[in-house]
């Protein structure tokens, strides 16, 4: 597997672009179009929130076919909590794109992100789609990525190549965060495309597996969105032989997809609203994997822990307090905590000034690892998160203004 | 029932004081002593965190007797995650107070709040107790309250009087917050004393009932502490006839206790770390009361909702998103949301610019009410919380420095 560190990539058979059509109040791009030149296998993962945006409802129905060709995404307006009109607008968006591109409407997937409760300005969307269709380019990924960003500061890309079924295939993804990031759902917008040929049911299984090991292990602020989705399109333009279930080729494909989703998930956390640190929370030897994940997530979500991380304060007591209320089997007198390599807590007790100095040094890094050993079993889990800073408050106090 | 709006109150048979003995690095008071001149009935509610401070473990054992006479409380050091030495220190603290006051050690209750993982400076504690005993006064409540404060800005008192069993009885409480405030536990330190005569089992039932309707309905940051407790002492100095179960007198006593605990719980939220607003979240017509509480708490805990409140932004979409992921039966198309009197959402849809303007006006108040009508059943719950501001981050990023 080779990682391509560039924004100027292309994936055979795909053309993309992003423009400003007027959904956002600023001049920033707000409409992205991703098109395959042929029918592709499609898989999707969607928010588990009971309140689902029109785009989520539409795509969740369409993805059952396992087929698709186009993704039309907008930022600035979530088209969520918009009732029947919102659903009609989502359908109309797909129909306009289908008409302009000459594909069947049910081959088009729709995605939205932005403010909840506002309607899409459909005239602008229609003009925007026409403009975007005219600009489609094999190397337009940077434009497409910019057009799905909201409070994101950095664009997020991941591209890998691998030999599968006798051909070089490319797997590439773009994503947007960066608030309302919490798992058991897709946690943001992420579009992955590949020129690999792969059966839709296998693509679905691979995507679910990758999601579980990437996007479902991240949290920024503990809030779940109404709009989040991951869509993956495989158009087969590479001309490879379809990988068989359990084959070496399928394992290679899975590894590629894992790399792309993990990279994008980490980029989403690094660019979490106001984040100054990327934080890895690893829980070891929990009673079971479910409790390990629950404990790691509880620590990752705690405002008190996250503010201490921002302050570079080795306040391990807050971690203990969170573990004690996380609803997992734990015993203070058995618990060890490490900040980086510094064992700051052994069997529930602080390890003194030297350990604290070493831990504080670890906290001063841009990337922080916290390891919690519960000594209760063999369950393990790793969660990625960020700290909680003034900037988070600033961004979220004035988001709609 | 009369409410006494003064800090210079006294409760018959109780003497109290607070001093600085050197546990805190600043010159602020850090040791409080509350003493009854006779054995009192005692009830307590303690944190449900699995990680419990030594004081919680000690008191939870002692309160089984239903008896006590003294509370010795310190701020600046939580004496939590301190193992056997911490437990020995808590016991020693009680023994020193018992010796100096001439009472039995198991009549003494201990409370601590502050940094987790540090040991109590026992020499300072011993000197401090001796000094405090010499200063005990019937009107020393303001000193005692100051001595249990940590990041609290305002002292918290509540005093009521009522005719019970032919006598005027006084019920008075002090409390400290103001981070790590989350329910299913006592949620902070709260000491309530009364000169009423009441049987210990009835006092316990009354305290549990009051707690459920006050401290268990508040959240500041969703974090549960290791040290939280409510202790209530009734010494009978008023000479009233003990109220019988279900009697009119017992109802009057319960109403007094409810008033004191509700007042203190609200004061804790108003003084939540960095709080600029007091927010009432009311969920109506949920499937059942449990789901109503779960939904209200989910909204109250959401960082995205709390920052929008700080920003006075009527961003009702965030409330919808939280409700959808709260694990309660809800249907977007049935949900109404009010900010103050402004119905900003009806059957899942925003009600336009005029409603939004009215809602924004409601958000500009110091006290904000959000009402959510799920139209699913008859369950109702009210939760009190505060907004999330820059100041919360500032306080918690540097708490131990």
Residues B145-197 pLDDT 10s: 999 998 888 899 999 999 999 999 999 999 998 655 554 333 489 999 999 99
Sequence-ordered list of residues with C-beta below 8 angstroms from that of B147, at least 6 positions apart, any chain? B18, B19, B20, B29, B30, B31, B32, B73, B74, B75
Q: Is ipTM over 0.85?
A: no
Residue of chain B whose Cα is closest to the Cα of A228: B321
Separation of alpha carbons B350 and B344, rounded Å: 6
Give the pLDDT mean for B313-327: 91
Q: Position of tokens 């990041």?
A: B151
pLDDT at A186 (0 to 100): 32
Separation of alpha carbons B401 and B385, rounded Å: 27
pLDDT at A301 (0 to 100): 87
Burial class (CB in 10 A: 0-12, 13-18, 19+), B105: middle
**CA dihedral angle for residue B68, residue B72, residue B78, residue B79, rounded to 10 degrees:** -80
CB contact under 8 A, B324 and A224: yes
**Distances B145 to A233, A295, A353, B229, B304 between C-alpha atoms, Å:** 63, 35, 32, 15, 33
CATH number assigned to the domain covering A278-397: 3.10.20.340
pLDDT at A184 (0 to 100): 38
Residues B128-155 pLDDT 10s: 999 999 999 999 999 999 999 988 888 9
Q: Using a CB-CB distance cutoff of 8 angstroms, which residues of chain B are in contact with residue A222?
A: 301-303
Q: Using a CB-CB distance cutoff of 8 angstroms, which residues of chain B are in contact with residue A115?
A: 315, 317
CB contact under 8 A, A315 and B115: yes
Q: Which of B225, B270, B37 is nearest to B115 (CA)?
A: B225
Separation of alpha carbons A233 and A212, rounded Å: 18
HSE toward the beta carbon, residue A145, CA cutoff 13 A = 23
pLDDT at A15 (0 to 100): 98
Q: Using a CB-CB distance cutoff of 8 angstroms, which residues of chain A are in contact with residue B308?
A: 396-397, 399
Residues of A with a catalytic annotation lie at 187
Residue-wise pLDDT tens for chain A (401 aa)? 999 988 889 999 999 999 999 999 899 999 999 999 999 999 999 988 889 999 999 999 999 999 999 999 999 999 999 999 999 999 999 999 999 999 999 999 999 998 888 999 999 999 999 999 999 999 999 999 999 998 888 899 999 999 999 999 999 999 998 655 554 333 489 999 999 999 999 999 999 999 988 988 887 655 678 888 999 999 999 999 999 999 999 999 999 999 999 999 999 888 877 888 999 999 999 999 999 999 999 999 888 898 889 989 898 988 998 999 899 999 999 999 999 999 999 999 999 999 999 999 999 999 999 999 999 999 999 999 988 887 777 777 765 54
Count of A-B CB contacts under 8 Å: 214
CATH number assigned to the domain covering B2-270: 3.60.70.12
Separation of alpha carbons A130 and A133, rounded Å: 5
State residue B198 phi and psi, 5-degree precision: -155, 145
Confidence (pTM) = 0.85
Residue pair A44/A205 in contact by the 8 Å Cβ criterion: no
Please tell me the distance in Å from A260's CA to the nearest CA on chain B.
27
pLDDT at A120 (0 to 100): 97
Q: Is the pLDDT of residue B345 over 80?
A: yes
CB contact under 8 A, B325 and A224: yes
Please report the DSSP string for B80-98 in residue order: -S-HHHHHHHHHHHHHHHH
Please tell me the distance in Å from A177's CA to the nearest CA on chain B.
14
Q: Are strands A367-373 and A278-286 parallel, antiparallel or unpaired?
A: parallel
What residues does each domain of chain A span?
Answer: 2-268, 278-397
DSSP B137: B
B50 touches chain A (CB under 8 A): yes
B367 touches chain A (CB under 8 A): no
HSE toward the beta carbon, residue B394, CA cutoff 13 A = 5
CATH number assigned to the domain covering A2-268: 3.60.70.12
Please tell me the distance in Å from B26's CA to the nearest CA on chain A.
19
Q: Using a CB-CB distance cutoff of 8 angstroms, which residues of chain A are in contact with residue B226?
A: 317, 320-321, 324
Q: Which residues are B24's β-sheet partners?
A: none
A180 touches chain B (CB under 8 A): yes
Q: Which residues are A170's β-sheet partners?
A: A161
Please tell me the distance in Å from B286's CA to the nearest CA on chain A.
15
CB contact under 8 A, A50 and B321: no
Residue pair B7/B148 in contact by the 8 Å Cβ criterion: no
CB contact under 8 A, A396 and B308: yes
Residue pair A14/A234 in contact by the 8 Å Cβ criterion: no
Give the pLDDT band (50/70/90) at residue B302.
Answer: confident
Helix crossing, B289-301 with B303-310: angle to 10°? 60
In a mutational test of the A interface, the residue from B76, B82, B307, B359 whose CB has the highest number of chain A CBs within 10 Å is B307
A51 touches chain B (CB under 8 A): yes
For chain B, how many residues are written? 401
């Amino acid at each position: 597997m080779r990682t391509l560190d560039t924004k100027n990539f292309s994936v055979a058979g795909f053309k993309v672009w992003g423009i400003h059509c007027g959904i956002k109040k600023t001049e920033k791009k707000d409409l992205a179009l991703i098109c395959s030149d042929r029918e592709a296998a499609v898989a999707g993962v969607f928010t588990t929130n009971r309140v689902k945006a029109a785009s989520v409802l539409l795509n969740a129905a369409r993805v059952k076919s396992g087929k698709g060709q186009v993704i039309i995404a907008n930022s600035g307006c979530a088209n969520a909590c918009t009732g029947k009109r919102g659903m009609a607008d989502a359908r109309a968006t797909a129909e306009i794109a289908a008409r302009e591109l000459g594909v069947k409407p049910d081959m088009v997937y729709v995605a939205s992100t932005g403010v909840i409760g506002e309607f899409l300005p459909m005239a602008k969307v229609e003009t925007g789609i026409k403009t975007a269709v005219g600009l489609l380019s094999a190397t337009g990924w940077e434009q497409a990525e910019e057009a799905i960003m909201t409070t994101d500061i950095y664009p997020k890309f991941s591209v890998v190549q691998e030999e599968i079924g006798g051909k070089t295939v490319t797997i590439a993804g773009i994503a947007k965060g960066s608030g309302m990031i919490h798992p058991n759902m897709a946690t943001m917008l992420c579009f992955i495309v590949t020129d690999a040929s792969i059966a839709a049911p296998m693509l679905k299984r691979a995507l679910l597996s990758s999601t579980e090991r990437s996007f479902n292990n991240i949290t920024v602020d503990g809030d779940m969105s109404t709009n989040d989705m991951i869509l993956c399109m495989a158009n087969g333009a590479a001309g490879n032989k379809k990988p068989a279930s359990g084959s070496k080729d399928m394992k290679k494909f899975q590894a590629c997809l894992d790399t792309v989703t993990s990279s994008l998930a980490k980029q989403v956390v690094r660019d979490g609203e106001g984040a100054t640190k990327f934080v890895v929370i690893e829980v070891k030897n929990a009673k079971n994997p479910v409790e390990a994940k629950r404990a790691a997530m509880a620590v990752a979500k705690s405002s008190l822990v996250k503010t201490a991380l921002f302050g570079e304060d080795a306040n391990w007591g807050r971690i203990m307090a969170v573990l004690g209320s996380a609803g997992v089997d734990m015993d203070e007198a058995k618990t060890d905590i490490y900040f980086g390599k510094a064992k700051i807590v052994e069997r529930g007790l602080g390890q003194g000034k030297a350990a604290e100095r070493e831990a504080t040094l670890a906290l001063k890094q841009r990337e922080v690892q916290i390891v919690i050993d519960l000594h209760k079993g063999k369950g393990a889990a790793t969660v990625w998160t960020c700290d909680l800073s003034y900037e988070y408050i600033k961004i979220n106090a004035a988001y709609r203004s």
